[in-house]
C-alpha cells in the first residue's frame, strides 16, 4: 500500500448503524478502526459527506415490500428481515452509512494509480463488477453493501473515485453525487431534449433540484412542483415555473402556468397520491421516469392511460458508469450548482438527519467529520 507522507491513525470517529430502527440505531464511536484498502481500493480522508434518503430508508427498513407507506424517519413495525435494503437483500451490521463523500485520497492499494494520492475526489457510489459494469445483479451501493462516509476515513474501489478540480467547498461538492447522478440517469433514460417540457416532482429536494438544473442544461422547459415556501429557491435554479406540491387540479394548474394541460416528460421522485394526476398530464407518447416514491410506493394506475396514450415508463436506479464522470464534468465547468442547505459536525448526524427528515430545507444537508 502506498500512502501520503502524513500519518494515518489506526482509529477514527465514525457513526455506525447497529440495526434497523429509528435514529437511536445510529451510534457514534471515537475509536472505530480505520479501514485498510485492498489491492484495488483507495483510502479516502473524508472531508464532507452528504445525506441521502437511502440511508434513512435502509436504517428504517422502508425498502421492504412489507412497508407500504410514505418514507418516515422513524422505524416501521412490519419490516421483513429478508428485503430491507434497496437491492432487496439484508445488509450486515455494524454498517457505516453515508454515500456522498468529498475527500482526499491518502493511500492506495497496489493496483491503484499512486498519483491519486493527495487528489480531491468525489465518490461514484455504485459498486460494480468491473468486468461487467452494467450487470445489475453484481451491484451494491457505497454505505449500504459496504461501509461509507459517515466517518473520518473510508475505502472504495479505485474505479469509484473521481478526481475533481473545483473552487467549490468540500461541503458543496458533497451535495452532488447521489442526487445529480440519479437525476441525470432519469433524464438520460427518458431521452430528455430541448423539445421537452419536463414536470419535476419534489423539485426542492436533492434529486429534484438536480433534475431542474440538468433538464435546463439539456434545454428543456421545466415545471417544478414543491412546497410554496421553497418556490423562490427552485426558480433561482432555473425552473421556468413552479406549481404547489399537490395542486388540486394539476391539468388546470399547468394550463394556467404554461398555457397547456400536458407535458412530454414527468420526472418523479415523489409518487404517492399525486401519481395518477402525473400520468394523466402526459401528452400522447409521453415519458414517465421514476427514481423514488417518498410520498408512498403504492399507487393507482389506469392501464388505459398507459397504453392508449403510448406512454413509456422507465425506472432508474443503477445507471451507466459514464454518468458519474459526465456529472463531474458539469460541476467542473460550472454547469450545475450545489444547493447546500446546512452543515453539521459528524457527531451531530442524528440532528442532521432529523432536519433532513423535517424537509424545511431546499437542496441537501452535509456532515463534516
Ligand atoms: N433510485 C435511486 O437511485 C435514488 C437515488 C436518490 C434518491 N432516491 C429516492 O428519491 C426520493 C427523493 O430523494 P431526494 O434525495 O431528492 O429527497 P429529498 O431531498 O428529501 O427531497 C424530496 C422532496 O420531495 C418533496 N415531497 C413531496 N411530497 C413529500 C412527502 N410526502 N414527504 C416528503 N417529501 C415530499 C419535498 O419537497 P417539498 O417539501 O417542497 O414538497 C422534498 O424536498 C427518495 O425516495 C429517495 O429515496 C432514489
Condensed to tens digits (0 to 9), the pLDDT of residues 259-271 reads: 999 999 999 999 9
Tell me the CA–centroid distance for residue 37 and ligand 1, in Å.
33
Task: Enumerate residues 6+ apart whose C-beta is below 8 A from 226.
Answer: 202, 203, 204, 205, 208, 234, 242, 244, 245
- Please give, one letter per residue, the 3-state secondary structure of the chain: CEECCCCCCCEEEEEEECCCCCHHHEEEEEEEECCCCCCCEEEEEEEEEECCHHHHHHHHCCCCCCCCCCCCCCCCCCCCCCCCCCCCCCCCCCECCCCEEEEEEEEECCCCCHHHCCCEEEECCEECCCCCCCCHHHCEEECCCECCCCECEEEEEHHHEEECCCCCCHHHHCCCHHHHHHHHHHHHHCCCCCCCEEEECCCCCHHHHHHHHHHHHCCCEEEEECCHHHHHHHHHCCCCEEECCCCCCHHHHHHHHHCCCCEEEEEECCCHHHHHHHHHCEEEEEEEEECCCCCCCCCCCCHHHHHHCCCEEEECCCCCCHHHHHHHHHHHCCCCCCCEEEEEEHHHHHHHHHHHHHCCCCCEEEEEC
Q: What does each C-alpha distance from 177 to 101, 202, 276, 305 come to in angstroms? A: 8, 18, 30, 34
* pLDDT tens track for 317-345: 999 999 999 999 999 999 999 999 999 99
Residue with cell 387540479: 249
Indicate whether residue 139 lines ligand 1 (CB < 6 A): no
- Asked if residue 31 has a cis previous peptide bond (ω within 30° of 0), the answer is no
Separation of alpha carbons 168 and 338, rounded Å: 8
Ligand 1 contact via 355 beta carbon (within 6 Å)? no
pLDDT in tens, 295-324: 999 999 999 999 999 999 999 999 999 999
Is 90 exceeded by the pLDDT of residue 72? no
User: What is the number of the ligand 1 atom nearest to the C-alpha of 362?
Assistant: 43
Amino acid 235: pLDDT? 98
**36 Cβ inside 6 Å of ligand 1:** no
The pLDDT of residue 63 is 87
What span, in angstroms and rounded, lies between the C-alpha atoms of 210 and 339?
A: 9
What is the residue with the minimal CA distance to atom 15 of ligand 1? 206
In whole angstroms, what is the distance from residue 257 CA to residue 253 CA? Answer: 6
Contact of 97 with 143, CB cutoff 8 Å: yes
Query: Mean pLDDT, to the nearest integer, of 3-31?
Result: 92
Domains of the chain, earliest start first: 2-175+338-368 (3.90.180.10), 179-315 (3.40.50.720)
Q: How many CA atoms lie within 13 A of 357 on its CB side?
A: 20
**What is the predicted pLDDT for the residue at 66?**
85
153 CA to centre of own chain: 21
Say if residue 173's pLDDT is above 80.
Answer: yes
> Residue 5: which pLDDT band, with cuts at 50, 70 and 90?
low
Looking at residue 83, its pLDDT comes to 79
Q: How far apart are CA 336 and CA 145, in angstroms?
A: 29
- Residue in the block written with cell 406540491: 245
Q: Is the shortest distance between the CB of 202 and ligand 1 below 6 Å?
A: yes
Q: Is 230 in the pocket of ligand 1 (CB under 6 A)?
A: yes
Radius of gyration of the chain from Cα atoms? 20
Tell me the average pLDDT of the chain.
95
What is the per-residue pLDDT for 67?
A: 86
Amino acid at each position: 500500500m502506498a500512502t501520503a507522507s502524513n500519518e494515518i491513525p489506526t482509529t477514527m470517529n465514525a457513526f455506525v448503524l447497529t440495526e434497523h430502527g429509528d435514529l437511536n440505531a445510529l451510534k457514534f464511536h471515537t475509536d472505530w478502526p480505520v479501514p485498510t484498502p485492498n489491492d484495488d481500493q483507495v483510502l479516502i480522508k473524508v472531508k464532507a459527506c452528504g445525506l441521502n434518503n437511502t440511508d434513512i430508508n435502509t436504517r428504517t427498513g422502508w425498502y421492504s415490500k412489507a412497508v407500504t407507506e410514505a418514507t418516515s424517519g422513524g422505524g416501521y413495525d412490519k419490516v421483513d428481515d429478508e428485503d430491507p435494503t434497496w437491492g432487496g437483500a439484508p445488509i450486515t451490521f455494524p454498517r457505516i452509512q453515508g454515500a456522498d463523500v468529498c475527500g482526499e485520497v491518502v493511500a492506495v492499494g497496489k493496483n491503484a494509480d499512486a498519483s491519486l494520492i493527495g487528489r480531491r475526489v468525489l465518490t461514484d457510489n455504485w459498486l460494480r463488477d468491473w468486468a461487467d459494469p452494467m450487470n445489475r445483479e453484481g451491484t451494491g451501493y457505497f454505505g449500504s453493501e459496504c461501509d461509507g462516509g459517515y466517518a473520518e476515513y473510508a475505502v472504495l474501489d479505485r474505479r469509484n473515485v473521481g478526481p475533481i478540480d473545483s473552487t467549490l467547498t468540500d461541503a458543496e461538492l458533497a451535495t452532488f453525487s447521489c442526487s445529480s447522478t440519479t437525476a441525470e440517469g432519469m433524464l438520460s433514460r427518458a431521452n430528455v431534449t430541448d423539445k421537452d417540457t419536463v414536470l419535476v416532482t419534489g423539485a426542492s429536494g436533492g434529486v429534484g433540484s438536480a433534475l431542474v438544473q440538468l433538464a435546463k442544461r439539456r434545454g428543456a422547459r421545466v415545471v417544478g412542483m414543491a412546497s410554496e415556501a421553497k418556490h423562490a429557491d427552485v426558480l433561482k435554479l432555473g425552473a421556468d415555473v413552479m406549481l404547489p406540491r399537490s395542486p388540486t387540479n394539476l391539468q388546470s394548474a399547468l394550463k394556467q402556468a404554461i398555457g397547456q394541460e400536458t407535458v412530454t416528460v414527468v420526472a418523479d421522485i415523489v409518487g404517492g397520491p399525486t401519481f395518477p394526476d402525473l400520468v394523466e398530464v402526459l401528452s400522447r407518447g409521453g415519458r414517465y421516469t421514476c427514481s423514488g416514491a417518498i410520498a408512498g410506493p403504492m399507487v393507482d394506475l389506469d392501464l388505459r392511460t398507459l397504453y392508449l396514450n403510448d406512454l413509456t415508463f422507465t425506472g432508474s436506479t443503477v445507471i451507466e458508469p459514464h454518468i458519474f464522470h459526465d456529472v463531474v464534468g458539469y460541476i467542473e465547468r460550472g454547469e450545475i450548482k450545489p444547493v447546500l442547505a446546512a452543515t453539521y459536525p459528524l457527531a451531530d448526524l442524528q440532528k442532521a438527519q432529523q432536519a433532513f427528515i423535517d424537509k424545511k430545507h431546499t437542496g441537501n444537508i452535509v456532515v463534516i467529520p
